[in-house]
Structures are given as C-alpha cells and as structure tokens.
Amino acid sequence: MWLKNIAFITLATITLASLANWLLMPPRVQALEQPVVARTNDFDLARQAVDRQFQQTWDEHDLQPASQADDLVIARRLSLGIVGTIPSLEEIRLLEQRPDVDRLQWWVDYLLNDRRYGDYMAERLSRAYVGTENGPFLIFRKRRFVTWLSDQLMANRPYDMLTRDLISETGLWTDHPAVNFVTATVDQDGTKEPDVARLAGRLTRAFLATRIDCVQCHDDNLGGDLKQSDFHELASFFREAQNSFVGITDKKGRPYDFKYLYADEEVTVPAQVPFNRDLLEESGGTLRQRLANWVTHPENKPFARAIVNRVWAIVTGRPLVEPVDDIPLEGSFEKGTLPAGMEPLVNDFIDHDFDLKRLIRLIASTEVFQLDSRADHEITAQHEKLWASYPVSRLRPEQVIGSINQASSLHTLNAESHVLTRLITFGETNDFLKRYGDAGEDEFSLDAGTIPQRLLMMNGNLVNERTKENFIRNSATKISQLAPDDASGIETAFLCVLTRRPTEQESEHFQAKLKNEELRTRRTQDFEDIFWALMNCTEFAWNH
C-alpha cells in the first residue's frame, strides 16, 4: 500500500511540475504551426504605395507620426480584428518563439487559417448583408447563412464570386444558403414575396457603399444628382425574384410598377443602374445575374471600395471613410475626396482577383496599422483622424465576451476545444450579449459605454465565474497554485488578460499586495482579485 501512495505522490508532483513549467516557458507545440505565406514583390510595392500616401498626408498637415507599437500590442490588435478575441497565453508563447523578422507575418497567417476567422468575419459581414434580426424563420435561416459565409471565407473564395451568389442565387434557403440575402426581406404578413426596395437598399449600402436608398421617396434635394427614379430602376432588377415551393426562383417578364412622388398614376419601372451604365450587360441571364455582374465588375470601383473600407474598419475598429457605407462615387486621393491608403488597397484587391485574405495581410503589414496609439509628443484628434497614431476604439460586445473567456483559459479557445467547452461558451456568450447590449447594424458607433455595461462587468455572473476559484476552468486559480513565485504569476496574469507584461511599477504594486501571504487559499483569492481588476480596467475594454 505504501508503495502505491509513494507512486501516486510522485506522479502528482511530476504532473504539477510539468504544468508549472508549461505555464512559465514557451510550449513546443508544432500542431498549431501554420505555413508562412511567401510575399511577392508586388505585395511590397502595394504596401509601400499605401505607406507613401499616409506619409504625404502627415507631411501636408505637419503631423509627426507615433513610433511603431510593441509586437504584443500589434498581435492583440490583429487577434481582435481577425478572430474577435485577445490571444491566449498559449498563442503568446508560440508567437514569441518566432524570429523577429517574420513574427507578425506568421501571426496573421496563423489567424487567417483558424476557423475563428471565418466565423467572426462572417458574423460581422452578415450584419451588412441581412441585418441582425432572425427574420421570417420559415424562409430565412440566419445561422445557416452565417455558417455558409464562414465556409466561403475560410476557403478564401474570391469576393466577387461570393457576392454574385448573394445577389443572383436561386433555390431553397437551407440547400442554397446564399438566397437568404433575398429571403431576409420577405414580409410574411404581406405579399410573402421579396421586398425589391429593401433589396436595393441593402445592395447599395453593403456592396457599393452608396446611400442611394436616401432617394427612395424623393429626389436628392441637397445638391446631389440622384433621382427617385435611380433607386427604383435599380430595385427593378429584383422584380423577377419570387418565393415558391422550390425556394427563390426568377419569373421572367414579371413587372415592377411604382407611383413616383407627385405622379398621377403608377408606371412600369425598367431595370437600370444609376452609374457606370457602360459596364451593364445588355442581355444574357436573369435580371439579377446581370445586376450581379455589373456590381462586381472590376471597373466598377465602388464595389471594391465598399469592402476595402469595411474590412479596414473590422480589422482596425474604424473605417477609412465614415460612415462605412457612404463613400463618394467619384473621387480620388489627389482630389481629396478619398483618404490616404484607399486607392492602393482597392487597386491591389482588384488586381489580385478580390482576395480577402491578401487584403487583410496587406492592411496588417502597413506602417499605419503598426503605429502606437501613444507617443512621446502630443497626440491630438487630428493624429487619430489622419491615422498618424493608432486610433483607440471600444471593443464590440462579441470581442468583450470573447476576451473574457479567453483570458480565463491558458489554452486557446477555438474549434479544437472540447465540445463541452464550446457548448458552455456558446450559451454564456448569448446570455452575456443579451445583457450587455449590441449596437446592431451600427457597426462602428463611437458611443461611450453605458452604466449597465460597466455594472455587468463589475458585478455580473460571467466575470465572477471566470475569476473565482476553479482549477479546471479559471486561469487565476491555476496561476496562483502553479506559479513558483509572485513575480512570474503576476506577469502571466497580465499576459492572459492584457496581452502584455506588467511595468516595473505595476509588478511592484501587486507583489506588495501578495507579500507575506502564507496560506494557499488566500493566495488564490489574491490572484482572483488581480484578474478581476485587470478585466475591469479601461485598457481591457479598448482596442489600442
């Protein structure tokens, strides 16, 4: 019996020592390694073109840019922008094993090959395509649509092809998820048919970054050239789409009748695009197919500008052009109507077959993306407006809950996590989002946080559950029991929550709090308090 006891104690000691060693030393995990994508000469030329335009703008406004941010700061930005959560301790250890020369490049490729990228980007883009409501459930499957979109993004399907599917696909909303773009507009209490006006409004804002829906009811009376007829002629391209027992089909020859403002009677509205009419095919395919080909035509620059601006906003937290869905139709950097960096990004995106992953890699490689949000000199509102310093932005609700969960786990929470972990996380996420609130389709609002949101972070069940003693699920407990000394434990806590190491002053402060604590149960409580404090600090809630 005593031999069994000795063997058990020895095994337990070895296990704890191994865990402590893993906690404090970079793990040698090869399974998570991803191949580094080689950069071509034209990639570097595109990046340099973006950097030159920003530098020219800074020179014109006599702005001294901030210096480059620390690698871990940039890594946190990339993780929040690409997969919607902060890096795990496991990922930080892997990242710091990489050579300095390719560290951030490897990190971008690693994130883009993670399923979290597809899921997060699909959720963000779907808000522009079908909104945030679940819609008429019998003929609209929001979750099915987002899953399909995630699959397309993971396969890096060219964005023009993906968009053509959304605009012109036929079939059932379950078997052909792209048609949910159309069925999301069906009014179950009315005609039970797709709403051509809503489809036209969605299309112009999501795919062309043009608010042509503003002239749905009357001509533009603020000096613009758009007419009410421009909107309804565009909407007429959707007139043949119908809801049938086999899903969405196109009934050729179906008319669209509308009574214009001040008109005496309805007229049959022809299908016509509001600009770049020379790019519209005169015949061939259905009306929706012709429209889809026009929208995605390589020479139809508003299409590429719309997604470049939106992806930039998702990755960085703020769009190049605000609002994100309202970019001048005619303009250029030289004329001052388009901001620095947009044209080189748009041209590269078109030249490389609408490659979304390449676009994200290009954004991440630019000097402007890697600037610090702080500087030794004064940072003004003009610095942030013109990207001479990295603009801070409040985390979205999904990023907040994702970061809370990830900070509470030493391992990476992704598609490889245990199914029970994923199910628990899914349920907790939905509950948190209901309580925390969501900006809806107003993706990039700069509104300040609310009092209920702060109270939820300070007193809510989720943060309390993620910081209370639990060796199985909570980082705070593991660190308190496995860290060999207070300094290394505090450093690990900062890496888990804030993706950085503590300053000397911060480390000394927390070590003083932990000093002379002899009982392990009290030490655990102290580390739980440290985690709670870090999760509730301003730095945690902002992208910077």
pLDDT in tens, 427-459: 677 777 666 666 666 666 666 566 666 656 665
Say if residue 18's pLDDT is above 70. Answer: no
More confident residue, 522 or 201: 201
In this structure, what are the phi and psi dihedrals at residue 247, rounded to the nearest 5 degrees? 100, -150
Question: 181-195, 233-247, 380-394: which has the minimum mean pLDDT?
Answer: 181-195
- Quote the CA–CA distance of 145 and 393 in Å, as a whole number: 29
Please write the tens of the pLDDT for every residue from 275-316.
999 999 987 899 999 999 999 999 999 999 999 999 999 999
pLDDT mean across residues, the chain: 85
Average pLDDT over residues 192-199: 92
Band of pLDDT at residue 528, cut at 50, 70 and 90:
confident
Say if residue 6's pLDDT is above 70. Answer: no
Q: Which amino acid is at 36?
A: V
CB-based contact 307:166 (threshold 8 Å): no
- Quote the CA–CA distance of 126 and 476 in Å, as a whole number: 36
Q: Is 330 helix (H, G, I), strand (E, B) or coil?
A: coil
Quick one: three-class SS letters along 260-280? Answer: CCCCCCCEECCCCCCCCHHHC
What pTM was computed for the model? 0.89
pLDDT at 217: 82
Please write the tens of the pLDDT for every residue from 207-247.
999 988 888 787 776 556 788 888 999 999 999 999 988 99
Give percent above pLDDT 90 in the chain. 58
In this structure, what are the phi and psi dihedrals at residue 70, rounded to the nearest 5 degrees? -65, 150
In this structure, what are the phi and psi dihedrals at residue 416, rounded to the nearest 5 degrees? -85, -5
pLDDT at 437: 64
Please write the tens of the pLDDT for every residue from 330-383.
878 888 889 999 999 999 999 999 999 999 999 999 999 999 999 888 888 899
Domain extent listing, the chain: 115-295
